[in-house]
A and B are shown apart, each in its own frame.
Chain A
Amino acid sequence: MNLLATIRLAFNALVRNKARSLLTMLGIVIGVAAVIITVAIGVGARVSVQQRIASLGANLIIVQPGSVTQGGVRTGFGGASTLTPQDGMAIAQLPGVAAVSPIVNMRTQAVAGGNNWQTLITGVAPTYTYIKSWSLASGRFFSQSEVNSIAKVAVLGQTDVHELFPNGASPIGQTVNIKGSPFTVIGTLAARGQSGMGQDQDDVILIPYTSEMQRLTGLKTVNLLMISAAGASQIIPVQNEVTALLAARHRIVAPQPYDFQVRNLQAFAQAASSTGAVMEFLLAGVAAVSLLVGGIGIMNIMLVSVTERTREIGLRMAVGARARDILRQFLTESIVLSTLGGLLGVMVGILGTVFVALSAHWPTIIPPQWVLAAVGFSGMVGIFFGYYPAQKAAHLNPIDALRFE
């Protein structure tokens, strides 16, 4: 008998027992659907985390002041006041560095007309928008000459636009008072929403770092240096060069500890993707268990079917079926059953994923290779769990089978 005829025969046998075939498939259907839905949610979450990490900045390296020990008390990271804008300028000369910006932060009240709002005033260099891949909603960003001239210019995040200029008029050209200094608004930032840590990234006013240091904080040091490497492959070499450069500039000799710390966001990305890998591994485990249970269901029903159809098997043998014909017939039935179950499961899984995406607004991605793997694996479940019953059928003694009541 050819393959097509065998599959048709198996199909007919399954159609004869519609309700039972459907119930048998249900185990596989639920297993595969559960796998598709959980994978879609898991992969969707992982990709959105990766996108958020990528949005933190292009090939970003951060230099933070390190810990210092003063009279036996260690301050923790950021405690040392040793990073200067000059360190940043030196770093900018290194090969593989695309851009550097000092970062100076301060929370204080901003006042515009009758409105005031406590916000984060961040002093940066003009390279900041490039490093953070942040575009402007309107106006312009400040230039290097404005940094050099310690200009009183500001670029507003969208939250500050709404809080300080609630009437909807353009804030460009308006004045914002920060700690008594009037800053002229020259641009607004595009909305960014919440950061990965849940902070409102739009609640910020950017001013030249020179202005912030000399007019607001009065300090000679900065909170951070943000560095953008020229490419993903440059991140580690740049990190090493920056470490060596700063150690030399700060005259640190081993075994003295560094008074700064150089970090990149790849660690975050790696942590996120390894979490994702663990998730996928767990999901694969769930898949294996649910398909195993579904497979046992199939084996159970196939054994019942072999017993029920003992006379049919005897008759087929009497009219010339070889053991391998019987084996193939029952094996095909169980493979058709499990593969159909897998296909139905994929459909249910895709519908379920669409439902989750629409109702919970979770990001979901259905990877096609998981769909193929789920269908393929359910087919293999059919072979594995169908073999024993089929083998049992093929080795029935024709006389006993014909006499069976």
Chain B
Amino acid sequence: MSNVVDVQRLRKVYPMDADEVIALAAVDLTIESGEFIAVMGPSGSGKSTFMQIVGMLDRPTSGDYHFEGRDVASLRDDERAAIRSRRLGFVFQSYNLLSRTSALENVELPMVYAGVPEHERRRVALEMMSIVGVEQLARHGSNQMSGGQQQRVAIARALVNNPGLILADEPTGALDTKTSLDVMRLFTELNQERGITIMLVTHEADIAAFARRIVTFRDGHILSDVANEERAA
């Protein structure tokens, strides 16, 4: 299997007044296509910084990052934006749906920036919404949906450009237990049945338990990297 993500000696330092904060010390990690990996760790362990760099929302201070074989450091901002729209899907803790915009339009948004024609956008968006089970909410605004429904719409949005990697940042952080389990089953399903590569960032062990591989961060280092034999379901 080919590597989707390959980072070597990844380092991120934030200047803070006279001092500096080391968010990532020297991280080496590869994620293969089709993996479902959970990144765990307490606050300040560097897991969020890691996700932002992998998601090309931030640049590392030093180290190498190859995404699907391309050296990300050499890419211009516009090229990184193009990869974000075509090869990456984001799912956030707070859903980040556009307010006063229908669910369908929210799902279409990445395709708008990828330059997909309108009728094609509609077709794909409805298809993805039916995969995650919210096709009946197409005309609803975000204020007319429950948290679980909003997160499903957000997942549909992450899927529309057939991404090489979905980055889920605490996707169940704002949901109740039952809805959290539903959403995690959806991720599991997407990974197993559609072979979608998922990187999940969480600090909850029972959520991480859905992944096949669990990487734990502490103080900017990888503390452990283990295969998860007993997966939750």
A104 to chain B, nearest CB (A): 84
Whether B100 pairs with A322 at a CB distance below 8 angstroms is no
Smallest CB gap from B90: residue in A: A318
- Please report the C-alpha to C-alpha distance between residue A169 and residue B96 in the assembled complex, in whole angstroms: 91
Of A311, A322, A399, which one neighbours B52 at CB under 8 angstroms? A399
Interface residues of B in 150-186 (CB under 8 A from A): 157, 161
| CB of A323 closer than 8 Å to a CB of B | yes
User: B81 touching A317 by the CB < 8 A rule?
Assistant: yes
Asked whether, in the complex, the Cβ of A315 is within 8 Å of the Cβ of B98, the reply is: yes
Per-residue interface assignment for chain A, residues 311 to 334, with 1 indicating a CB less than 8 Å from any chain B CB and 0 otherwise: 110111111111111000000000
A398 at interface (Cβ–Cβ under 8 A)?
A: yes
A321 and B113: CB pair below 8 A? yes
Question: Is the pair A312, B98 in contact by a Cβ cutoff of 8 Å?
Answer: yes
Q: How far is the CA of A25 from the CA of B40 in the complex (A)?
A: 50
B182 to chain A, nearest CB (A): 23
A325 adjacent to B113 (CB under 8 Å): yes
Q: Is A402 an interface residue (CB 8 A)?
A: yes
CB neighbours of B20 from chain A (8 A): none
Quick check: is B86 within 8 A (CB to CB) of the other chain? yes
The answer to whether the Cβ of B77 comes within 8 Å of any Cβ in the partner chain is: yes
Is B85 in the interface zone, CB < 8 Å from A?
yes
A321 near B81: Cβ-Cβ < 8 Å: yes
Interface contact B109-A319, CB-CB below 8 Å: yes
Per-residue CB proximity of A181-199 to B under 8 Å, as 1/0?
0000000000000000000
Please name all residues of chain B whose beta carbon is closer than 8 Å to the beta carbon of A318 when the two chains form the complex: 55, 57, 84, 90, 96
A314 neighbours in B (Cβ, 8 Å): 96
Contacts A312-B98, A320-B81, A323-B77 given: A5-B112 contact, CB under 8 Å? Answer: yes
- Evaluate contact between B57 and A398: CB separation under 8 angstroms: yes
Residues B82 and A320 in contact, CB atoms below 8 Å apart: yes
Q: Mark B3-17, 1 if CB is under 8 A from A, else 0.
A: 000000000000000
- Give A310 Cβ to nearest chain B Cβ, in Å: 12
> From A312, which residue of chain B is reached at the shortest CB distance?
B98
From known contacts A320-B110, A325-B113, infer whether A399 and B58 are also in contact, taking CB-CB under 8 Å: yes
Minimum distance in angstroms from B54 CB to a CB of chain A: 12
Q: Is A361 an interface residue (CB 8 A)?
A: no
Tell me if A1 counts as interface (CB < 8 A to partner B): yes
The residues of B that contact A325 with a CB separation of less than 8 Å are 113
Looking across the interface, which residue of chain B has its beta carbon closest to that of A318? Answer: B90
Contacts of A107 in B (CB 8 A): none
The answer to whether B57 and A320 touch across the interface, beta carbons within 8 angstroms, is no
Identify which of B78, B82, B96 gathers the most chain A CB atoms within 10 Å of its CB. Answer: B96
Flag if A320 contacts B86 (CB, 8 Å).
yes
Whether A251 sits at the interface, judged by CB under 8 Å, is no
Chain B window 77-108, contacts with chain A (Cβ cutoff 8 Å), 1 for yes, 0 for no: 11001101110001010001011100000000
The closest CB in chain A to the CB of B95 belongs to A315
Q: Which residues of A lie under 8 Å from residue B99 when comparing CB positions?
A: 312
Contact check, B92 vs A402: say whether CB atoms are below 8 A apart: yes
Q: Are the CB atoms of A319 and B113 closer together than 8 Å?
A: yes
- What CA separation (Å) do A157 and B158 show in the bound complex? 90
* In the bound complex, CA of A399 to CA of B54 (Å): 12
**Chain B residue at minimum C-beta to C-beta distance from A320:** B85
- Rounded to whole angstroms, the CA-CA distance of A167 and B177 in the bound complex is 106
**CA of A22 to CA of B222 in the docked complex: distance in angstroms?**
55
Q: Are A320 and B96 in contact (CB under 8 A)?
A: no
Given known A-B contacts A316-B113, A402-B57, A322 and B77 have beta carbons under 8 A apart = yes
A320 contacts B114, C-beta separation under 8 Å: yes
B86 contacts across to A, CB distance below 8 A:
320
Name the distance in Å between A186's Cβ and chain B's nearest Cβ.
Answer: 84
CA distance A325 to B78 in the complex (A): 10
Contact in complex: A320, B113 (CB < 8 Å): yes
**Complex CA–CA separation, A321 to B98 (angstroms):** 14
- A303 to B157 alpha-carbon distance, docked (Å): 28
Report the minimal beta-carbon distance from B119 to chain A, rounded to whole angstroms: 13
Q: How far is the CA of A229 from the CA of B197 in the complex (A)?
A: 94
Task: State the Cβ distance, B46 to closest chain A Cβ, in Å.
Answer: 14
CB distance from A204 to the nearest CB of B (A): 75
Flag if A399 contacts B113 (CB, 8 Å): no
Chain A residues within an 8 Å CB radius of B109: 316, 319
Which of A16, A315, A319 meets B85, CB within 8 Å? Answer: A319
Min CB distance, A332 to chain B, in Å?
14
Q: Which residues of A contact B112 (CB under 8 A)?
A: 1, 5
With a CB–CB cut-off of 8 A, which chain A residues contact B77?
322-323
Q: How far is the CA of A54 from the CA of B54 in the complex (A)?
A: 80
Given A319-B157, A321-B81, A322-B78, check contact A311 B96 (CB 8 Å): yes
Residues of B within 8 A of A324 (CB): 78
Nearest 9 pairs between A and B by C-beta?
A: A320-B85, A320-B113, A319-B110, A322-B81, A315-B96, A398-B57, A320-B84, A322-B78, A318-B90
Please list 24 pairs of residues, one from A and one from B, whose beta carbons are closer than 8 Å in the complex, sorted by A's number.
Answer: A5-B112, A16-B100, A314-B96, A316-B109, A317-B84, A318-B90, A319-B84, A319-B90, A319-B113, A319-B157, A320-B82, A320-B84, A320-B86, A320-B110, A321-B81, A321-B85, A322-B77, A322-B113, A323-B77, A323-B78, A324-B78, A398-B57, A399-B58, A402-B96
